[in-house]
Amino acid sequence: MSNGTIAILTAGGDCPGLNAVIRAVAKPLLAAGRRVLGVEDGFLGLIEDRLRPLEFPTVSGILALGGTILGSSNKSNPLRFATGVNPDGSVVLSDVSPRVFATLDKHDVRGIVVVGGDGSMSCATELRRAGLARGIDLKFVGVPKTIDNDIVGTDVTFGFASAVATAADAIDRLRTTAASHHRVMVVELMGRNAGWIALHAGVAGGADIILVPEIAWTFENVAARILERRQLGLRYSIVAAAEGAAPRGGRQVIAKVDPTMPDPIRLGGIGALLASEIERRTRIEARCVVLGHMQRGGSPVAVDRVLATQLGVAAAKAVLSERWGGLVVVRAGQLAEIPIESVAERQRLIPPDDPTLAAARAVQTSFGDEPC
């Protein structure tokens, strides 16, 4: 293993800071004399044998660059890979992991640094088990990545701060137009089943109402808070809604079901539903803005550049020390390592005692769970 080639891949959704991690992993490995390959488009590059050398010139000057120079994919689990369509229209999912092992053997890859979220770590765990069943000891080191900030075992993930900054800036801009036209502006934010982005962007942008998946709310309470603000002379309101927020007794709004993805449920539409219900219940004009992939794009903010660098270097050190199977994380401000399999298919949600949640309530932000 000490002389084996190390591969780096970025899997799942993109986010600001991925290139900073690639840089931080590759440079220490190259300095130690290791051969480093970049896998194109996540696990898909392993399936299709698309790997390329990473050298110092390749990974220089990319710290502040958004996206990922390697590309990514969130539809390429080798154990459940879409290979066709059945007569009834359903997708044929096949195990193509032998193609992955052939690619790794061809390039003498014995260790992979996976930069991804819970789905990517689950994929790595499954692929390692499949390899062991064939007598192949494939080793991984993981780096947690997601704008959603929902990976279990780490206090924060890189990309989150950048996404919050983008969302908060959007809320700031929407406030002026909302005030000018005396409207309610509903901002739909990403986050899947976790409300971290909505909570932090809502607090940073001074949203009047924040709706998150972790707190059951009602349309009645939302409408009542908006009308209460009107009575106080505040003729506009800002509602920050996480895409996974669902009313008490209701269900999340689903935009699409994609069976080729690790998580086939694609959320979206709660913002439009909220705007419609607010207008119906208050007779106040309401508009919905869906930020969508705007939250993923652009250069990482400084704090994400620093965090991504720290995590990438920690992953490289784990490789050089042959500490395999760990995910580098941040706990109480310190870098640590936890088993990759411990985070697979799990999500870190906002706890009831979260200090940001408490601070928001203290400044009279409504979460739609209490009547006015």
Active-site residue numbers? Answer: 148
Contacts 24+ apart (CB under 8 A), 124-128: 124/340, 125/340, 125/341, 125/344, 126/77, 126/79, 127/43, 127/78, 127/79, 127/97, 127/100
How is residue 342 written in tokens? 């411990």
**Cβ proximity of 116 and 11 under 8 Å:** yes
The conformation of residue 158, written as its DSSP 8-state character, comes to B
Residue 118 main-chain phi, psi, to 5 deg: -60, -35
Residues 345 and 245: their CA atoms lie apart, in Å, by 20
CA atoms in the 13 A half-sphere facing the CB of 302? 0
Residues 62 and 154: their CA atoms lie apart, in Å, by 25
Residues 368 and 212: their CA atoms lie apart, in Å, by 9
For the chain, the first-to-last Cα distance in angstroms comes to: 63
Alpha helix locations (H) across the chain? 18-31, 43-47, 97-106, 118-133, 160-181, 196-204, 219-231, 270-282, 302-320, 355-362
Residues 285 and 183: their CA atoms lie apart, in Å, by 5
How is residue 205 written in tokens? 């942008």
Nearest Cα neighbor of 295 from 257, 247, 343, 240 is 240
Count of C-beta atoms within a 10 Å radius of residue 98: 12
Q: Give a three-class secondary structure readout of 24-84.
A: HHHHHHHHCCCCEEEECCCHHHHHCCCEEECCCCCCCCCCCCCCCCCCCCCCCCCCCEEEE
